[in-house]
């Protein structure tokens, strides 16, 4: 530890307890000053705290390194989300529920930061609190810490018993470049960002009142895939004690296969970085602004221009593997307890948007099964075969302020506002049943974070057994049992059966 870092810690660290009572906290990044607001006066918020040296200039397209401490950090507003673009096409998320999308104008390359929400001056809490580290989704193309539906301050205001930390990570071409000038096992930069974010949390969370020995890693969609990738990548030093995977896992077939690195070179060539050595290509492309790069990618995407280019995690046998079932059955993963589940109408937003008539339901059902339910079935079965605890759920809530159109229902991501406590921030207040379902889901997730092995069974949600029950959420009552056989009936392992329909 450097002399500067040691002095910062010596000046500002307090005796850890289950809440903060100062808005300036010493961290390995330097002293951070947060705030409280009138909406959630019992929650201290520390936003936009850098955990890594920012990936700008020569650091663009390199693995992250821990932030060197600054003299002071203003943590009273969100930092930029990583460079990205949203397409022009109408969709459920773009048109009907834009609270799933980061606000315009809040992206930038200096984006590797965490946001910490923790109880404020809770004198009844003396023990260090469980921590939930949040990894956002977005298909590895979009997402960030400043998503209105994914702000946990209302949840923490209600519970006063846990801390949430969201981790920004690089996406699309900046997070998963697959560039010829980089090492083969250093292409999945966004996944390295997530790992360093967790290392920062482990190093610093006690000073926000959190327990570094009770960190659960929670993700949704691409975030859930990231959680499962992490599960296999760090079996000997997992940092986390529990995993929560909403609508995604390592068996979901999203990724890139471009061994010749043609996508990266194609985009670089558009900006004059062509016919160069691989190192010169990188050096040249690092001088092009992120705004220009994302504008080019957006224009091609909106126009449907071919050849299509994509930037997703690649198999590098370090952060992502090709043989997850084989590795699971051999026990080559963390073996930490997990919550794993899906929504009943996942596929609806992925089909062409038709506001009046909705998507083709045959294709919607197939998408729900093939991309989400059946990979979850197979993952759960693999974990069971390896003797590992899994709690399985199906979300079936249908609330008009989140799903305003008749055909949307429990679509992909629609459960998140209930867990975060943000379901009533747009298109009308939440109904009493919506609030009841929200609080039940919050209590489940918190019980797991407090004790990943025993917390949920104490609430009546038992771990997976082939002839047992999972939980069905938001259908007629907030929570009820659903037979595991019903969840597995449409699937032959990770593959949908012909003509099968999603439960319930």
SS3 6: helix
Q: Is the dihedral of CA 425, 431, 433, 439 positive or negative?
A: positive
Angle, CA of 63, 76 and 5, to the nearest 5°: 55
| H, E, C per residue of 331-372 | CCCCCCCEEEEEECCCCHHHCCCCCCCCCCHHHHHHHHHHHH
- Residue 205 makes CB contacts below 8 A (sequence gap 6+) with 116, 131, 163, 165, 211, 212, 215
CB 61 within 8 A of CB 193: no
| Element (DSSP H or E) covering residue 244 | strand 242-246
How would you label 58-96 residue by residue, b for 16+ Cβ within 10 Å and e otherwise? Answer: ebbbebbeebebeeebebeebbbbbbbbbeeeebbbbeb
The two three-digit tokens of residue 482, written as one number: 């659903």
- Compute CA distances 435 → 219, 233, 392, 461, 471, whole Å: 22, 37, 22, 20, 18
Q: In whole angstroms, how large is the CA radius of gyration of the chain?
A: 22
Active site residues: 221, 346, 412
- The C-alpha atoms of residue 79 and residue 75 are separated, in whole angstroms, by 9
Q: How many CA atoms lie within 13 A of 500 on its CB side?
A: 21
- The C-alpha atoms of residue 196 and residue 180 are separated, in whole angstroms, by 24
Residue that has been written with the tokens 């808005």 in this structure: 23
- Compute CA distances 458 → 158, 336, 422, whole Å: 20, 18, 26
CB 212 within 8 A of CB 363: no
């Amino acid at each position: 530890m450097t002399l500067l870092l040691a002095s910062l810690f010596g000046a500002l660290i307090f005796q850890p307890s289950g809440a903060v009572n100062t808005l300036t906290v010493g961290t390995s990044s330097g002293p951070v000053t947060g705030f409280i607001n009138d909406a959630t006066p019992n929650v201290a918020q520390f936003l936009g705290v850098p955990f890594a040296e920012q990936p700008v200039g020569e650091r663009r397209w390199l693995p992250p390194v821990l932030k060197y401490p600054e003299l002071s950090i203003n943590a009273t507003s969100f930092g930029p989300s990583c460079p990205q673009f949203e397409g022009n096409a109408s969709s459920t998320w773009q048109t009907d529920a834009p609270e799933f999308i980061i606000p315009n104008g809040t992206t930038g390359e200096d984006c590797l930061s965490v946001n910490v929400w923790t109880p404020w001056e809770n004198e009844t809490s003396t023990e260090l609190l469980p921590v939930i580290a949040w990894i956002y989704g977005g298909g590895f193309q979009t997402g960030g810490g400043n998503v209105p539906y994914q702000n946990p301050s209302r949840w923490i205001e209600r519970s006063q018993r846990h801390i949430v930390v969201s981790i920004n990570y690089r996406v699309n071409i900046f997070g998963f470049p697959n560039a010829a000038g980089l090492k083969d096992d250093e292409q999945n930069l966004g996944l390295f960002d997530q790992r360093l974010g967790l290392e920062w949390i482990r190093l610093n969370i006690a000073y926000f009142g959190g327990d570094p020995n009770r960190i659960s890693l929670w993700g949704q969609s691409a975030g859930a895939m990231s959680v499962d990738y992490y599960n296999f990548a760090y079996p000997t030093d997992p940092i986390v004690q529990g995993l929560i995977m909403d609508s995604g896992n390592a068996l979901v077939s999203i990724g890139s296969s471009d061994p010749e690195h043609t996508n990266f070179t194609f985009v670089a060539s558009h900006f004059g970085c062509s016919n160069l050595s691989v190192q010169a290509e990188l050096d040249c492309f690092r001088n092009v602004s992120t705004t220009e790069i994302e504008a080019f990618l957006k224009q091609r995407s909106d126009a449907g221009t071919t050849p299509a280019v994509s930037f997703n995690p690649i198999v590098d046998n370090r952060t992502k593997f090709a043989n997850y079932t084989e590795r699971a059955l051999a026990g080559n993963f963390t073996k930490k307890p997990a919550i794993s589940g899906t929504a009943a109408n996942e596929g609806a937003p992925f089909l062409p948007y038709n506001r009046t008539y909705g998507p083709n339901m045959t294709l919607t059902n197939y998408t729900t099964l093939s991309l989400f339910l059946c990979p979850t079935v197979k993952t759960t079965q693999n974990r069971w075969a390896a003797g590992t605890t899994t709690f399985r759920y199906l979300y079936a809530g249908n609330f008009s302020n989140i799903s305003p159109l008749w055909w949307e229902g429990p679509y992909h991501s629609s459960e998140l506002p209930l867990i975060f406590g943000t379901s009533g921030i747009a298109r009308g207040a939440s109904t009493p049943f919506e609030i009841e379902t929200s609080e039940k889901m919050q209590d489940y997730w918190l019980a797991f974070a407090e004790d990943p092995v025993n917390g949920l069974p104490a609430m009546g949600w038992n771990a997976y057994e082939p002839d047992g029950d999972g939980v069905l959420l938001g259908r007629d009552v907030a929570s009820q049992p659903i037979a595991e056989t019903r969840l597995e009936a449409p699937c032959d392992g990770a593959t949908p059966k012909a003509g099968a329909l999603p439960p319930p």
